[in-house]
């Protein structure tokens, strides 16, 4: 049944994730600290509010995950994050 009492969201969060370089040459290692290839990942978040004058302090919690399906299957991981211990 339809419930007309549900409120609509007050803010809408957008995200933009970029990875550099976009193409990886697997035969040319570019990581200086570790053997392998390094990429930079940048995540930017923004929000719009309704009404536009609404300006709350927003705290976001997020997680980067790579090879999640392989991890769940117990397969060797192909990706790791620098400066973060494996989960």
DSSP 67: S
Confidence of residue 74 (pLDDT cuts 50, 70, 90): very high
- 83 or 66: whose pLDDT is higher? 66
Q: Which residues pair with 78 in a beta bridge?
A: none
Average pLDDT, the chain: 83
Cβ–Cβ < 8 Å for 29, 35 = yes
DSSP notation for 22-51 = SS--TTS---SSSSS---EEEEEEEEEESS
Instruction: Give the tokens for residue 2.
Output: 């339809």
Determine the pLDDT at residue 85.
Answer: 63
In terms of DSSP bridges, do strands 40-49 and 11-20 run parallel, antiparallel, or are they unpaired? antiparallel
Confidence of residue 4 (pLDDT cuts 50, 70, 90): low
């Amino acid at each position: 049944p339809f419930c007309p009492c549900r409120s609509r969201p007050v803010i809408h969060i957008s995200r933009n994730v970029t990875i550099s370089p976009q193409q990886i040459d697997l035969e040319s290692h570019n990581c200086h600290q570790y053997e392998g290839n390094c990429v930079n990942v940048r995540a930017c978040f923004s929000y719009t509010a309704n009404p536009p004058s609404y300006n709350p302090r927003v705290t976001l919690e997020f997680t980067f995950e790579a090879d999640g399906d392989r991890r769940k299957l117990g397969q060797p991981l192909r990706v790791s994050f620098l400066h973060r211990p494996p989960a």
